[in-house]
């Protein structure tokens, strides 16, 4: 029986990274889409050569500079599509090799744009990490260098939380670390119970 694939998502400041860590602490293998992109952009990463061809300016010290890609996207409306056409297949390949090697009855796939990109169809279930809007805003604004404008720009590219709630199989509210941990443990138990029912 192949591992149960649980897609983990949540907007900025909702506590997704913390929740992913809680799954890891319970012994569940977690694949992180953002970490995969960092590996691909790092010196020697599979995305470096093709992205350097598209945007030579983005090549910095043998790796790809996200900031330089962002300025290219700001200047050229077609840039994002070109970047995604290189990066998405590489990320998918990274995810496939993780799934092939992961040991355990459950694996978590941490994908920020899970619903936006339609990747939820590849999952056995999805879990949305969420928190009240005022708590989300306070967490994000506490990040170094974050501005109100950046926060709104990030939110504008993400599906509204209410819509994600309607699409997710499970929801974890991250009001406190203890309550989130209890939810993670309960969800793991629920999945195992239903798989063997």
Any idea where the domains of the chain sit in the sequence?
1-29+106-197, 34-101
User: What is the Cα 100 distance to its own chain's centre?
Assistant: 19
**CA dist., res. 185 & res. 195, Å (int):** 16
Query: 168 is written with which tokens?
Result: 């997710």
Please determine, for residue 154, whether its predicted confidence score (pLDDT) is greater than 90.
no
Confidence (pTM): 0.89
User: Which architecture characterizes domain 1-29+106-197 according to CATH?
Assistant: 3-Layer(aba) Sandwich (3.40)
Q: Which of 112-121, 123-132, 150-159, 169-178 has the weakest average pLDDT?
A: 150-159
Q: Who has greater pLDDT, 19 or 195?
A: 19
């Amino acid at each position: 029986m192949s591992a149960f694939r649980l897609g983990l998502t949540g907007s900025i400041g909702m506590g997704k990274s913390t929740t992913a860590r809680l799954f890891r602490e319970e012994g569940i293998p977690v694949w992180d889409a953002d970490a995969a992109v960092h590996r691909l952009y790092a010196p020697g990463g599979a995305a470096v050569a093709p992205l350097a061809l598209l945007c030579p300016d983005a090549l910095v010290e043998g790796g790809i500079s996200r900031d330089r890609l962002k300025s290219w996207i700001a200047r050229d409306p077609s840039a994002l599509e070109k970047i995604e056409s290189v990066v998405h297949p590489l990320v998918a390949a990274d995810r496939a090799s993780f799934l092939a090697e992961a040991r355990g009855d459950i694996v978590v796939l941490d994908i920020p744009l899970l619903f936006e990109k339609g990747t939820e169809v590849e999952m056995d279930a999805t879990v949305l990490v969420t928190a009240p809007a005022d708590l989300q805003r306070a967490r994000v604004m506490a990040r170094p260098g974050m501005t109100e404008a950046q926060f709104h720009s990030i939110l504008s590219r993400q599906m509204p939380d209410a819509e994600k709630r309607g699409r997710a199989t499970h929801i974890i509210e991250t009001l406190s670390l203890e309550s989130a941990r209890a939810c993670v443990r309960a969800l793991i138990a629920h999945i195992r119970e239903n798989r063997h029912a």
